[in-house]
């Protein structure tokens, strides 16, 4: 119960992954809680990111398998087609079924005050929501992030797609230029290319998915070119976009040469920026363009104000936001037993032509730290499950320290996003590759490749 000095015990600013869990937990513990949302309740992931994206990619995957993989299995697939407005309707059905989008009624049923509007700090214990002032003993900042606009001349004057707008297209464009070769750019490239779009995808880095192991990048680039007919443009900096009639001309520098191409649509997927424009200076909360600054317990420079999720500028995953939200709730409930978030085993997944999942450090990360490591590798085609499913491309790669303890892994295979959690658990609890290799794995299953890769680690005595 809030004291007479405050309207609430806790006000959560943002109803996405970083805020909703803490609000839920604190309400269950009889705290008087409000949650503030300036857009649609449920936040980015539920409404415009992972949930709708995965629904569309599921439709694309089923279509691709039916059309392109059926003949090898003796199936006739000549009549397979699609209706994109119906695919779009399926996306909306999946969002509704998931129950995580537009969650205002859920909060109200939990006794949480759902307040719609834009929050700004007036002081350390007070915010304004449009014309209303609210006081709270504690705050949790979970405002998330928004697409970065990039240093591209003409981007502010030329119509273009954001990831949010791209998810709401009722038909795929004939041609599409994607600025950004990270997970978001690669997933949209996969989606639209399956449905017939000619895709150009550019990144300033030397390869797509530059934060992943190089084998994953090479596989995706090869498949994008050979299977999807994409133009993959690494080491390419987009410098200008401009409207020409009903088309858009994209000008970019590749190497030292300036080139251009005309396309129907441009998608900006070049990263995200934390949303920190909420008067944090009035509450004496330290922040930068890179995010809100916190201590090891996710508390900001102002005591009693915490932050979680994308606004921290560390990760852009729903699962890390949920995890951080739980940590904040624990630290509010148990101030003498506060927890520090542990990011040593954060799984990440990219749903491209072959699904890519990884956890822990990449080989490049290890080399930068001058670590002595061992690498175990297993091509996916050596296991029975791959041959049964007629899958030839993919691999499992595991990295251990010199004693054989797992510190990183990458899987490129169907259902990699599910399989990665065996290795996530192993890294979290300091298991060795030998311990994983000696564990029974069902036959035939994709997880056998994990056993083989771990078994290929040879520790020098």
Report yes or no: 179 and 199 within 8 Å, Cβ to Cβ: no
Best CA proximity match to 318, nearest among 105, 13, 46: 46
SS3 annotation, 332-359: HHCCCCCCCCCCCCCCEEEECCCEEEEE
Cα-based angle 95, 196, 207 (whole degrees, multiple of 5): 85
| Helix residue ranges, H only, 49-83 | 50-64
Q: Which helix (H) or strand (E) holds 119?
A: strand 119-123
Best CA proximity match to 80, nearest among 67, 64, 99, 61: 67
Fold category of 163-270 in CATH = FAD/NAD(P)-binding domain (3.50.50)
Q: Please state, in angstroms and rounded to a whole number, the distance separating the CA atoms of residues 119 and 154.
A: 31
Question: What pLDDT is attached to residue 102?
Answer: 67
Report yes or no: 457 and 438 within 8 Å, Cβ to Cβ: no
Question: What pLDDT is attached to residue 2?
Answer: 59
Number of other CB atoms surrounding residue 63 within 10 Å: 16
pLDDT tens over the chain, length 461 residues: 556 689 999 999 999 999 999 999 999 999 999 999 999 888 888 888 899 999 999 999 999 999 888 888 898 867 789 999 999 999 999 998 887 766 788 898 999 999 999 999 999 999 999 989 999 999 999 999 998 877 788 888 999 999 999 999 999 999 999 999 999 999 999 999 999 999 999 999 999 999 999 999 999 999 999 999 999 999 999 999 999 999 999 999 998 899 999 999 999 999 899 999 999 999 999 999 999 999 999 999 999 999 999 999 999 899 999 999 999 999 999 999 999 999 999 999 999 999 999 999 999 999 999 999 999 999 999 999 999 999 999 999 999 999 999 999 999 999 999 999 999 999 999 999 999 999 999 999 999 999 999 999 987 66
Question: What pLDDT is attached to residue 26?
Answer: 98
At the fourth CATH level, the homologous superfamily of domain 8-42+102-146+273-333 is FAD/NAD(P)-binding domain (3.50.50.60)
Q: Which helix (H) or strand (E) holds 324?
A: helix 318-333
Local structure of 35: helix, strand or coil: strand
Q: For residue 88, is it left (φ>0), alpha (ψ between -120 and 50) or beta?
A: alpha
354-455: in CATH 3.20.20.70: no
Provide, for the chain, the percentages of residues in helix, strand and coil under a 3-state DSSP scheme, each rounded to the nearest 5: 35, 25, 40
What single-letter DSSP state applies at residue 67? I
Spell 155-165 as b/e; 16+ CB within 10 A means b.
Answer: beebebbebee
- Residue 203 token pair: 């990144």
Local structure of 64: helix, strand or coil: helix
Q: Which helix (H) or strand (E) holds 384?
A: helix 384-388
- Residue 35 token pair: 């949650």
Same topology between domain 8-42+102-146+273-333 and domain 163-270: yes
How large is the greatest C-alpha to C-alpha distance in the chain, in angstroms?
73
What single-letter DSSP state applies at residue 69? I
Question: What pLDDT is attached to residue 156?
Answer: 86
Domain ranges of the chain: 8-42+102-146+273-333, 48-94, 163-270, 354-455
Cα-based angle 439, 445, 449 (whole degrees, multiple of 5): 65
């Amino acid at each position: 119960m809030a004291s007479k000095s405050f309207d609430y015990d806790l006000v959560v600013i943002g109803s996405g992954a970083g805020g909703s869990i803490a609000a839920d937990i604190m309400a269950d513990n009889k705290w008087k809680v409000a949650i503030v949302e300036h857009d649609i309740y449920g936040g980015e992931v539920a409404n415009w990111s992972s949930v709708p994206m995965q629904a569309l990619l599921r439709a694309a995957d089923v279509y691709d398998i039916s059309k392109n993989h059926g003949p090898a299995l003796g199936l006739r697939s000549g009549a397979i087609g699609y209706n994109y407005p119906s695919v779009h309707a399926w996306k909306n059905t999946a969002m509704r079924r998931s129950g995580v989008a537009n969650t205002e009624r859920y909060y109200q049923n939990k006794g949480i005050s759902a307040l719609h509007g834009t929050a700004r700090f007036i002081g350390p214990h007070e915010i304004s929501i449009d014309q209303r002032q609210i006081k709270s003993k504690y705050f949790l900042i979970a405002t998330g992030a928004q697409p970065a606009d990039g240093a591209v001349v003409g981007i502010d004057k030329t119509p273009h797609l954001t990831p949010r707008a791209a998810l709401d297209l009722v038909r795929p464009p004939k041609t599409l230029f994607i600025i950004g070769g990270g997970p978001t750019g690669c997933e949209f490239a996969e989606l639209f290319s399956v449905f017939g779009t000619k895709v150009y995808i550019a990144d300033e880095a030397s390869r797509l998915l530059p934060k992943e192991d190089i084998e994953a990048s090479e596989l995706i680039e090869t498949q994008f070119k050979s299977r999807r007919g994409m133009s993959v443009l690494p080491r390419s900096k987009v410098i200008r976009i401009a409207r020409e009639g009903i088309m858009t001309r994209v000008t970019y520098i590749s190497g030292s040469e300036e080139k251009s191409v005309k396309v129907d649509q441009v998608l900006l997927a070049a990263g995200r920026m934390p949303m920190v424009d909420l008067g944090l200076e009035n509450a004496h909360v330290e922040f930068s363009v890179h995010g809100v600054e916190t201590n090891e317990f996710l508390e900001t420079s102002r005591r009693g104000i915490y932050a979680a999720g994308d606004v921290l500028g560390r990760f852009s995953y729903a699962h890390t936001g949920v995890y951080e939200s739980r940590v904040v709730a624990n630290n509010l409930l148990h101030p003498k037993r506060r927890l520090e978030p542990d990011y040593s085993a954060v799984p990440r997944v990219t749903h491209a032509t072959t699904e890519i999942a990884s956890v822990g450090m990449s080989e490049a990360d290890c080399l930068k730290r001058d670590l002595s490591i061992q690498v175990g590798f297993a091509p996916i085609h050596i296991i029975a499950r791959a041959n049964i499913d007629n899958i030839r491309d993919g691999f499992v790669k595991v990295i251990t320290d010199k004693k054989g303890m797992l510190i990183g892994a990458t899987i490129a295979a169907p259902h990699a996003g599910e399989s990665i959690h065996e290795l996530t658990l192993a890294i979290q609890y300091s298991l060795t590759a030998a311990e994983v290799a000696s564990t029974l794995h069902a036959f035939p299953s994709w997880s056998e490749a994990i056993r083989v890769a771990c078994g290929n680690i040879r520790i020098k005595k």
